[in-house]
Amino acid sequence: MRSSLSRRRHRHPALSVANTAPPPARNFSPSAFVAEGMTRLPLPHRRTRLKILHGATIPLFIWFMFVTPEDVNAIGPWAFQVHSVFGLIFVTFALVWTVTHIRKGLMGRPGPKLGAHQKRFHQLLHKTLIWGLFGVALTGFGLGLTASRQLWAGDFVPIAYPLNLPAWNDLIGQIHIIEFYTLAVIAIVHAGFHTWRHIKLGDNALRIMAPKALHRFL
């Protein structure tokens, strides 16, 4: 019996060494800990990320449709500060939309119930919105670049180095306003188009970007 046990032990010397060896030392530095956590934490699916971005952009879009800098200035400096922070968040979202589109294109294809012309309109509508958001961010940068003093986004991010070009600042300001409200009209058309799809074609278009908690109402 003893000889058979000894033979079994000598069959796997590597296992006996591995079981008795001390575990390798781990790096417990804060950066390594965060890096390890990020690798273990899976990112949400791309559609989930776009749903969050879409849902967060809508209220900001509505805010800037109805609230102007003159409105918040009349309330006080704190209101202008909040308005400026909203602008910084909105521009960040716009740039994220643009970069995501450049890297990976549109999230999905037009629904199968759409006709050929409607599919082309679907593509044009979404691309116009994405590049329109980028244009709003770009002209906002132009306002900071041509301003007579340093402008800040959220009171802590400098927009651009001011070149003090009042004529150009007025022109870019007019373009910025027209561009944004034109984009607002396109966004309303976009919402109407998906509502029409959802009701008329019955393809659940409104559920594509709506949270699951709202699906039972749609």
pLDDT for residue 16:
46
**Planar angle of CA 137, 138, 140, nearest 5 degrees:** 65
Q: Which residues of 191-203 are buried (b: 16+ CB within 10 A; e: fewer)?
A: eebbeebbeeeeb
Helices 13-20 and 2-11 pack at an angle, to 10 degrees, of: 80
Q: Profile the chain (218 residues) by mean pLDDT over runs of 10 residues.
A: 48 48 52 50 70 88 92 92 93 91 81 86 92 94 94 87 95 95 94 89 80 74
* Res 144: pLDDT: 94
Q: What was the pLDDT predicted at 185?
A: 95
132 near 216, Cβ under 8 Å?
no
User: What does the pLDDT read at residue 72?
Assistant: 93
Predicted pLDDT at 32:
52
Give pLDDT, residue 15: 45
* Angstrom distance (rounded) from CA 33 to CA 27: 8
| Domains of the chain in sequence order | 45-217 (1.20.950)
